[in-house]
C-alpha cells in the first residue's frame, strides 16, 4: 500500500537564511501513529506546518493521499486535521458551535450526527452547550481535537499535545490518541518527551537540526537503544 503521507527531499529555509528542514524524507502509513521526537528547535513544528500547508516549502515534495500539497492544496488540506500547540479558541463560543463552525469552514455539509459522535468520542458531549471559557485546560485540548476532526480528515497532526500539561492530563491525551487510532485515523505528533513517544507511537522518527536521524518501529528502537541512549542521541545528534 502506498503511504498516506509522503515527504521527499523537503527543505525549508526561512527569510533569515536559517535552514529549519534540511532534506527531510518520511513516509507515513495509513492508520499508524508516528511520533516526531526531537529537542526544542529541531524543526518539528516547521515540518508539521509545511506538511499541513501553513508554511511554504523551499524545495521538495509532499503528497497526502496521493495529492500534491502544492498543486492540489484543497484536496490535501481537506484530508488533514491540525491540532496546534496554542489554545486558539473563542472563549465565549459554545463547544458544539466551535466544532460546527470549523466543519462549515471546510465547506462540509451540515451533519450534526457526526459532530455529536465526535463529541461523545472525546467525552465532550456533556459539555456541548458550555462556553469554552468554562472548560478546564484538558477539555479545551479535547475541543481543539474535535475542531481538527470536524471535517472528517484522514490524517491528524498534533503539535506537542502535552506541552505545558500536567502528568495526569498528558496521560489523558495519550488515551484520546489511542482511541482515535482505533477508528483508523493516522496520527502524527511532535514531542520532546521520549516517554510520550514510547507510550503512544507505533514508530518513532528522531529529528534533530532539521534532519531525520532515524525512523524505527518503537519497540525495536527502544530495545536497541533504550531511553538513556536515546536521550544521549537526542542531546548529541550524530
Ligand atoms: P521545534 O518544533 O522542533 O521546537 P521549530 O520547527 O519550531 O522547532 O523551529 C526550528 C528552528 O527554526 C528554530 O531554530 C527556530 O528558531 C527556527 N524558526 C522557526 N520559525 C522561524 C521563522 N518564521 N523564521 C526564522 N526562523 C524560524
ipTM value, please give it: 0.98
170 pLDDT more than 90:
no
> What pLDDT does residue 227 have?
83
> What pLDDT does residue 238 have?
44
Distance 2 CA to ligand 1 centre (A): 30
Per residue in 83-135, pLDDT (tens digit) is 998 889 999 999 999 999 999 998 888 888 999 999 999 999 999 999 999 99
Query: Phi first, then psi: what are they for 236, rounded to 5°?
Result: -120, 75
Same domain as 238, residue 191: yes
Per residue in 1-25, pLDDT (tens digit) is 789 999 999 999 999 999 999 999 9
Tell which atom from ligand 1 comes closest to the C-alpha of 39: 3
Same domain as 73, residue 158: yes
Same domain as 171, residue 136: no
Residues in a beta bridge with 158: 83, 189
Same domain as 171, residue 59: yes
Nearest CA to ligand 1 atom 27: 14
Distance 40 CA to ligand 1 centre (A): 9
Domain boundary among 102, 118, 152: 152
Per residue in 202-232, pLDDT (tens digit) is 999 999 999 999 999 999 998 888 888 888 7
237 pLDDT more than 90:
no
Domain count along the chain: 2
Could you give the dihedral angle defined by the CA atoms of residues 107, 111, 112 and 117, in that order, rounded to the nearest 10 degrees? -110
Task: Please report, for the domain that includes residue 229, its CATH number.
Answer: 3.40.50.300
Establish whether residue 56 lines the binding site of ligand 1, counting it when its CB lies within 6 angstroms of any ligand atom.
no
Query: Phi first, then psi: what are they for 37, rounded to 5°?
Result: -105, 125
Higher pLDDT, 116 or 235: 116
Higher pLDDT, 167 or 155: 155
What is the extent of the structural domain holding 106? 84-152
Per residue in 13-58, pLDDT (tens digit) is 999 999 999 999 999 999 999 999 999 999 999 999 999 999 999 9
CA pair distance 100, 115, nearest whole angstrom: 7
Tell which atom from ligand 1 comes closest to the C-alpha of 190: 2
CA distances for 204 relative to 15, 44, 120, 165, 200, angstroms:
30, 13, 30, 21, 10
Same domain as 89, residue 102: yes
Establish whether residue 191 lines the binding site of ligand 1, counting it when its CB lies within 6 angstroms of any ligand atom.
no
Residue with cell 502535552: 162
Same domain as 185, residue 74: yes
Nearest CA to ligand 1 atom 22: 14
Same domain as 73, residue 28: yes
Cell of residue 5, nine digits: 503521507
CA angle at 174 for the pair 144 and 86, rounded to the nearest 5°: 30
Same domain as 164, residue 143: no
Residues 16, 63 contacting (CB under 8 angstroms): no
Residues 7, 51 contacting (CB under 8 angstroms): yes
Tell which atom from ligand 1 comes closest to the C-alpha of 160: 2
CA pair distance 107, 175, nearest whole angstrom: 30
Amino acid at each position: 500500500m502506498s503511504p498516506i503521507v509522503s515527504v521527499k527531499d523537503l527543505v525549508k529555509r526561512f527569510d533569515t537564511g536559517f535552514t529549519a528542514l534540511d532534506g527531510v524524507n518520511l513516509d507515513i502509513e495509513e492508520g499508524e501513529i508516528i511520533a516526531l521526537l526531537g529537542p526544542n528547535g529541531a524543526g518539528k513544528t516547521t515540518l508539521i506546518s509545511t506538511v499541513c500547508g501553513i508554511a511554504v516549502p523551499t524545495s521538495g515534495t509532499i503528497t497526502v493521499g496521493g495529492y500534491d500539497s502544492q498543486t492540489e492544496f484543497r484536496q490535501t488540506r481537506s484530508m488533514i486535521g491540525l491540532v496546534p500547540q496554542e489554545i486558539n479558541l473563542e472563549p465565549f463560543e459554545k463547544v458544539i458551535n466551535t466544532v460546527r463552525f470549523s466543519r462549515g469552514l471546510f465547506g462540509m455539509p451540515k451533519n450534526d450526527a457526526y459532530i455529536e459522535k465526535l463529541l461523545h468520542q472525546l467525552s465532550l458531549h456533556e459539555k456541548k452547550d458550555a462556553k469554552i471559557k468554562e472548560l478546564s485546560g484538558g477539555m479545551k485540548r479535547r475541543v481543539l481535537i474535535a475542531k481538527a476532526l470536524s471535517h472528517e480528515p484522514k490524517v491528524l497532526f498534533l503539535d506537542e499535545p502535552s506541552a505545558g500539561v500536567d502528568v495526569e492530563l498528558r496521560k489523558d491525551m495519550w488515551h484520546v490518541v489511542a482511541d482515535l487510532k482505533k477508528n483508523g485515523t493516522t496520527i502524527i505528533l511532535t514531542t520532546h518527551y521520549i516517554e510520550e513517544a514510547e507510550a503512544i507511537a507505533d514508530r518513532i522518527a528522531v529529528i534533530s537540526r532539521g534532519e531525520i536521524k532515524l525512523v524505527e518501529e518503537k519497540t525495536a528502537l527502544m530495545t536497541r537503544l533504550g531511553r538513556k541512549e536515546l536521550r544521549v542521541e537526542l542531546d548529541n545528534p550524530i
